[in-house]
């Protein structure tokens, strides 16, 4: 933990040595000003490390110094990797600490993601997770918090992709003479991949073949993949929502009703879904889990006290 000369923790990065900000539509990391000048290597980028090794049984252990990259170089490399993830700018603030759970399922989702991030085994097999639930329940928040920790604290390479935007990127690539495999390749090989909005799209043959290839490559290679979806994981269909008394339903209400009665396995097919069952631990948030964005909007719309405090009160 980096501290100021007075001994206090930096108030900007809170001791993390890096800061995450929103730049346009992406979350962007930078080295905090408190750590721009490294006191260990004095800006050289390398430092000496003492090691001990036995070269001869007669002589015994021998200590020697080797030149190794300084910790500041590792920090800069991790920050550079973070800026390649592709996390949405709105998630720049996301952390496990500021995730607010409204029910037991959300609490379980946070604990699952946090345990995965803090106990990732670089040398072992790591089972991913799938978060299912209505919009506004913090699924992308938890994906972002997980990737932040893995890249900046553990030192992994990771990528984030929203599935419908991936389809659009591949279509644009076709116009530029690129094949779908060229675009999918880096996503297939990255250590940890987070796929958001799983099941979203028109369900065309192109989309299904693209998704199948991506999942198959990662499944066969034993790579870790994280998912978030608005579609249900439940084995049985839910009863469809009843219409409003007036008979009117907004477009969003209609889409929500359709999601309530459609399962993820119906959106991605039995082959892909079967592989997801092996690749991930599942957590589903109930359909009545509140949309946090709506709650904030409704709170902002409530009338508050007039400027200067409630009327009738003295100075």
pLDDT of 118 higher than 90: yes
What CA–CA distance (Å, rounded) separates 159 from 297? 31
* 70/96 same-domain check: no
Q: Is 240 exposed, middle or buried (0-12, 13-18, 19+ CB in 10 A)?
A: exposed
- Closest among 14, 36, 212 to 95, alpha carbons compared: 14
* Structure confidence at residue 51 (pLDDT): 82
Q: Which of 36, 55, 76 is the last residue of a domain?
A: 76
pLDDT of 248 higher than 50: no
* Structure confidence at residue 159 (pLDDT): 98
What CA–CA distance (Å, rounded) separates 164 from 184? 14
How many C-beta atoms surround the C-beta of residue 133 within 10 A?
23
Average pLDDT over residues 71-93: 95
Q: Which of 32, 57, 76 is the last residue of a domain?
A: 76
* 181/206 same-domain check: yes
Instruction: Tell me which of 232 and 9 has the higher pLDDT.
Output: 232
* 157/50 same-domain check: no
What CA–CA distance (Å, rounded) separates 179 from 88? 25
Whether 111 maps to a domain, the answer reads yes
Domain of 66, in residue numbers: 46-76
* 166/286 same-domain check: yes
> Mean pLDDT: which of 5-14, 55-64, 183-192 is highest?
183-192
Give Cα 1 to chain centroid, integer Å: 24
pLDDT of 5 higher than 50: no
- Closest among 218, 195, 217, 185 to 267, alpha carbons compared: 195
pLDDT of 188 higher than 60: yes
* 119/51 same-domain check: no
pLDDT of 37 higher than 70: yes
CATH for 209 = 3.40.50.300
Give Cα 201 to chain centroid, integer Å: 20
Please count the structural domains in the chain: 2
Instruction: Tell me which of 59 and 95 has the higher pLDDT.
Output: 95
What CA–CA distance (Å, rounded) separates 130 from 161? 14
Q: How confident is the model at residue 245 (pLDDT cuts 50, 70, 90)?
A: very low
Instruction: Tell me which of 137 and 254 has the higher pLDDT.
Output: 137
* Structure confidence at residue 295 (pLDDT): 78
* 59/150 same-domain check: no
Q: Which helix (H) or strand (E) holds 267?
A: helix 264-268
Whether 64 maps to a domain, the answer reads yes
Whether 256 maps to a domain, the answer reads yes
What CA–CA distance (Å, rounded) separates 231 from 142? 17
* Structure confidence at residue 240 (pLDDT): 45
Q: Which helix (H) or strand (E) holds 129?
A: strand 128-132
The DSSP result for 69-123, as a single string, is: E-HHHHHHHHHHHHTTT--BGGGTT--STT---SSHHHHHHHHHHHHHHHT--TT
Q: Which helix (H) or strand (E) holds 23?
A: strand 18-23
Whether 22 maps to a domain, the answer reads no
Average pLDDT over residues 179-196: 94
* 56/124 same-domain check: no
pLDDT of 246 higher than 50: no
For residues 164 and 199, the answer to whether their CB atoms sit within 8 Å is no
pLDDT of 249 higher than 70: no
pLDDT of 105 higher than 90: yes
Residues 6+ apart with CB under 8 A from 223: 188, 189, 190, 191, 192, 193
pLDDT of 47 higher than 70: yes
Whether 19 maps to a domain, the answer reads no
What CA–CA distance (Å, rounded) separates 190 from 218? 9
For residues 197 and 162, the answer to whether their CB atoms sit within 8 Å is yes
* Structure confidence at residue 65 (pLDDT): 85
Q: What is the mean pLDDT of the chain?
A: 86
| Tens digits of residue pLDDT in 134-155 | 999 999 999 999 999 999 999 9
Average pLDDT over residues 210-237: 91
Residue 150: both structure tokens together: 């893995």
* 64/92 same-domain check: no
Whether 152 maps to a domain, the answer reads yes
* 56/110 same-domain check: no
pLDDT of 16 higher than 70: yes
* 228/253 same-domain check: yes
* 226/108 same-domain check: yes
Whether 253 maps to a domain, the answer reads yes
Q: What angle do CA 219, 224, 230 make, to 5 degrees?
A: 90
* Structure confidence at residue 309 (pLDDT): 47
| Tens digits of residue pLDDT in 161-183 | 999 999 999 999 998 888 888 89
* Structure confidence at residue 235 (pLDDT): 67
Strands 26-31 and 18-23: antiparallel
For residues 148 and 20, the answer to whether their CB atoms sit within 8 Å is yes
Whether 30 maps to a domain, the answer reads no
* 290/202 same-domain check: yes
Average pLDDT over residues 276-299: 89
pLDDT of 119 higher than 80: yes
């Amino acid at each position: 933990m980096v501290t100021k000369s007075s001994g206090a923790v930096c108030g900007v990065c809170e001791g993390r040595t890096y800061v995450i900000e929103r730049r346009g539509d992406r979350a962007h990391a930078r080295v905090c000003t408190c750590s721009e000048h490294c006191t260990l290597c004095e800006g050289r980028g390398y430092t000496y490390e003492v090691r001990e090794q036995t070269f001869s049984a007669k002589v015994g252990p021998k200590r020697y110094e080797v030149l190794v990259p300084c910790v500041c170089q590792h920090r800069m490399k991790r920050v550079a990797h973070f800026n390649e993830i592709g996390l949405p700018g709105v998630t720049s603030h996301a952390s496990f600490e500021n995730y607010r759970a409204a029910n037991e399922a959300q609490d379980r989702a946070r604990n699952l993601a946090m345990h995965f991030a803090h106990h990732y085994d670089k040398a072992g097999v790591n089972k991913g997770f799938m978060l299912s639930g209505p919009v506004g329940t913090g699924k992308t928040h938890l994906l972002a918090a997980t990737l932040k920790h893995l890249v900046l604290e553990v030192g992994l390479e990771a990528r984030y992709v929203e599935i419908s935007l991936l389809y659009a990127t591949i279509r644009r690539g076709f116009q530029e003479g690129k094949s779908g495999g060229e675009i999918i390749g880096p996503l297939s090989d990255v250590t940890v991949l987070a796929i958001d909005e799983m099941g979203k799209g028109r369900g065309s043959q192109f989309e299904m073949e693209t998704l199948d290839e991506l999942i198959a490559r990662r499944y066969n290679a034993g790579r870790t993949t994280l998912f978030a979806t608005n579609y249900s994981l439940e084995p049985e269909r839910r009863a469809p929502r009843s219409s409003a008394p007036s008979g009117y339903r907004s477009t969003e209400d209609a889409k929500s009703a359709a999601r309530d009665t459609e399962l993820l396995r119906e959106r991605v097919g039995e082959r892909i879904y079967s592989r997801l069952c092996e690749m991930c631990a599942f957590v589903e948030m109930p359909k009545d889990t509140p949309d946090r964005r709506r709650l904030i909007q409704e709170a902002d719309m409530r009338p508050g006290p007039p400027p200067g405090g409630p009327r009738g009160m003295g100075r």
